Amino acid sequence: MAYYQSKPVAGRHFLQIPGPTNVPDRVLRAMDNPTMDHRGPDFGRFGQQLLEKVRAVFRTEGPVVIYPASGTGAWEAALANTLSPGDRVLMCETGWFAHLWQEMADRLGLKAQLLPTDWRRGADVAAIEAALREDKDHGIKAVCVVHNETSTGCTSRIEEVRRAIDAAGHPALLLVDTISSLGSIDYRHDEWGVDVTVAGSQKGLMLPPGLSFNAVSQKALRAAESARLPRSFWDWRPMLAANATGYFPYTPATNLLYGLDAAVDMLLEEGLDEVFARHDRFAEATRRAVRAWGLEIQCEEPRHYSSSLTAVRLPEGHSANALRATILERFNMSLGNGLGRLNDRVFRIGHLGDFGPLSLVGTLGGVEMGLAAAGVPHKPGGVQAAMAYLNGNA
């Protein structure tokens, strides 16, 4: 039973939106400890080891800034720390969240050049390269890509974007949103030469929302020296200065940091590679279920399949929102809605975070029973197909 639930329902809620994800008890219990003095000596020790430890999750040896703010704030931080009013940024409109990021750039006084997609695949790397080659005078200051587009279930290939930028010989910064991929899908801040990685707490990191992150390259730090967008709360400089001794320039979200400490331990104990393999496996099982039902996966490009969520298209004339309402009502499971142009056209299954094979089977069972209950044309057998796959690979 959730904190505020309108009617009594037996059994644990299945929170299968693509984030926030099901927070493991170990993280909730860590968060549930008394708040400590964020200026005291114990905090400094705690902060230092945490700031050090969290780098592993980004696969970086550089600094990771932690904001007491949700993921949208970390987007703003990435822009505000590196850019100046009127700067041009190249953005790949891979879906709703890429679109929102572009809206934010506009509001902050940047000029976004948009590379559209049909919302059924990741970023168009060739188009990025072409746009950069065309930008002879290097007016483009940053390339912004959403690693995993939460609205479509398409993952962009960041290493290819990196190569495209390099191939074009362009000095633009590479800013990447990993809000729904970090801790779920293989990601390498240093190796892929990302300048700012934007992340949030409530997805693969298995925390409630309320923390967000910027992993920052040396190049980004240099850019921050000359960037002129006004910034204060988001400013990396006082943050990094205070972080050096384990502290924060203003009050951090202490209890969420406790949770982060526990969550990073869990990821590292399982091993990042095993975490990614687990997500890959569950994603493939989910796609097999979708195909068995005879439904269409929103992502059309197999190389861009997301391992953290799957967006499923409904047959024409059927309402994804009605389906989700039926599933919530009957089976106590929340699924993600379609966003923007996909509203009512797709539903999204989150299969990320603290999630095991039986939770996945339950999740897919809820979808399969929901399709029948809501009268959506489909073939049964999705769960069966997923189990066959899981069992051969579990």
Task: Write the CA distances from 61 to 44, 51, 58, 206, integer angstroms.
Answer: 20, 11, 9, 22
Axis crossing angle, helix 218-226 with helix 236-243, rounded to the nearest 10: 130
Q: How far from chain centre, in Å, is Cα 362?
A: 23
Q: Which residues inside 73-112 make contact with its own copies, applying CB under 8 A?
A: 73, 75-76, 85, 103-104, 107-109
Cα distance between residue 38 and residue 43, in whole Å: 6
- The reply on whether position 255 binds its own copies by CB under 8 A is yes
Cβ atoms of residues 92 and 277 within 8 Å: no
β-pairing, 154-155 vs 111-116, is unpaired
- The reply on whether position 272 binds its own copies by CB under 8 A is no
Q: Which residues inside 39-68 make contact with its own copies, applying CB under 8 A?
A: 39-43, 45-46, 67-68
Q: Which residues inside 167-196 make contact with its own copies, applying CB under 8 A?
A: none
Question: By rule CB under 8 A, what string of x and - marks binding of each residue 207-236 to its own copies?
Answer: -xxx------------------xxxxx-x-
Least spacing, CB of residue 234 vs its own copies, in Å? 8
Closest CA to 92 of 177, 184, 192: 177
**Token pair for 319:** 């309402």
Residue 252 DSSP SS3 = coil
Identify the residue among 127, 240, 266, 322 touching its own copies (CB under 8 A): 266
**Token pair for 49:** 């080891």
Least spacing, CB of residue 246 vs its own copies, in Å? 11
Q: Which residues inside 329-388 make contact with its own copies, applying CB under 8 A?
A: 330-334, 336-337, 354-363, 365-366, 368-369, 372-373, 380-381, 383-384, 387-388
- The reply on whether position 12 binds its own copies by CB under 8 A is yes
Single-letter residue type at 31: M
Q: Which residues inside 274-293 make contact with its own copies, applying CB under 8 A?
A: 275, 278
Q: Which residues inside 115-144 make contact with its own copies, applying CB under 8 A?
A: none
Q: Which residues inside 23-42 make contact with its own copies, applying CB under 8 A?
A: 23-26, 28-42
Binding residues for substrate: 348
